[in-house]
């Protein structure tokens, strides 16, 4: 299983961009990289996933390193509602969520 490393916590000012890093140096060539987030007192919420190319959707962008050993989730303008725990999950981890990064958004 691919091991992931994420910072325990990060802070961002409201309306500024946020870059959430994830290292997954042992990822296999066929593993997708998924990002989920969990808002307080709620179930996890799918954010985005990708394989090799950078991906964009209405919630965020996912930048994947060329060697695929790391990826970065980009929130273009953080809002208070984005305060959550963000999980990076390679497919091969069979849905192992780990401890994620707790994002605090400062008004």
Partner 1 sequence: DSGVTQTPKHLITATGQRVTLRCSPRSGDLSVYWYQQSLDQGLQFLIQYYNGEERAKGNILERFSAQQFPDLHSELNLSSLELGDSALYFCASSQNLAGNEQFFGPGTRLTVL
Binding residues for partner 1 (CB under 8 A): 32, 34, 36, 38, 42-46, 49, 87, 91, 94-99
Q: Using DSSP, state whether 71 is helix, strand or coil.
A: strand
Considering beta carbons, is residue 94 or 107 the nearer one to partner 1? 94
**In whole angstroms, how close is the CB of 20 to partner 1 at the nearest point?**
17
23 CA to centre of own chain: 10
Give the chain's largest Cα–Cα span: 40
- Gap between the Cα atoms of 94 and 91, Å rounded: 6
| Residue placing its CB nearer to partner 1 in the complex, 46 or 106 | 46
Minimum Å distance from CB 90 to partner 1?
12
């Amino acid at each position: 299983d691919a091991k992931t490393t994420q910072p325990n916590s990060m802070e961002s000012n409201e309306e500024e961009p946020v870059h959430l890093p994830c290292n997954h140096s042992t990822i296999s060539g066929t593993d997708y990289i998924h990002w989920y987030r969990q808002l307080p007192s709620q179930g996890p919420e799918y954010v985005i996933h990708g394989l090799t190319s950078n991906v964009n959707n209405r919630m965020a962008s996912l930048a994947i390193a060329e060697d695929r050993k790391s990826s970065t989730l980009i929130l273009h303008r953080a809002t208070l509602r984005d305060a959550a725990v963000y999980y990076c999950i390679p497919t091969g981890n069979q849905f192992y969520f780990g401890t994620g990064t707790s994002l605090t958004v400062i008004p």
